[in-house]
Amino acid sequence: KAGVTQTPRYLIKTRGQQVTLSCSPISGHRSVSWYQQTPGQGLQFLFEYFSETQRNKGNFPGRFSGRQFSNSRSEMNVSTLELGDSALYLCASSLVVPSTNEKLFFGSGTQLSVL
């Protein structure tokens, strides 16, 4: 069974641009969550989707948005990129309910560099 797939692995953008990251969950998983990881700060929760509905959202500005498709694949978008958006963006999927006490399966992330 394929794991969580995130594309692209690396991305370089300039300030002011926008970017879209993709996440394909494990087959059969319906919940997808996104995290931003920066050195020394651990992971910050961005948002979570379950059955195409955003169920939970972290404390990020409106420039960060996401969506989930009917096949459970998810995308996140960051508009008007800032230098501080440089980070590793991780996606995680879980089987059924959008609950963090379910086992989460993570992808290898997209490393975004904003110049």
Partner 1 sequence: AQTVTQSQPEMSVQEAETVTLSCTYDTSENNYYLFWYKQPPSRQMILVIRQEAYKQQNATENRFSVNFQKAAKSFSLKISDSQLGDTAMYFCALDSNYQLIWGAGTKLIIKP
Interface residues toward partner 1, by CB under 8 A? 3, 35, 40-45, 48, 55-56, 58, 88, 90, 92, 98-101, 103-104, 106-109, 111
Nearest distance from C-beta of residue 104 to partner 1, angstroms = 7
Return the number of the residue (25 or 98) whose C-beta is nearest partner 1.
98
Return the number of the residue (22 or 79) whose C-beta is nearest partner 1.
22
- Give me the numbers of helices (H) and strands (E) for the chain, helices first please: 0, 11
Return the number of the residue (78 or 89) whose C-beta is nearest partner 1.
89
Cα within 13 Å of Cα(34), Cβ side: 32
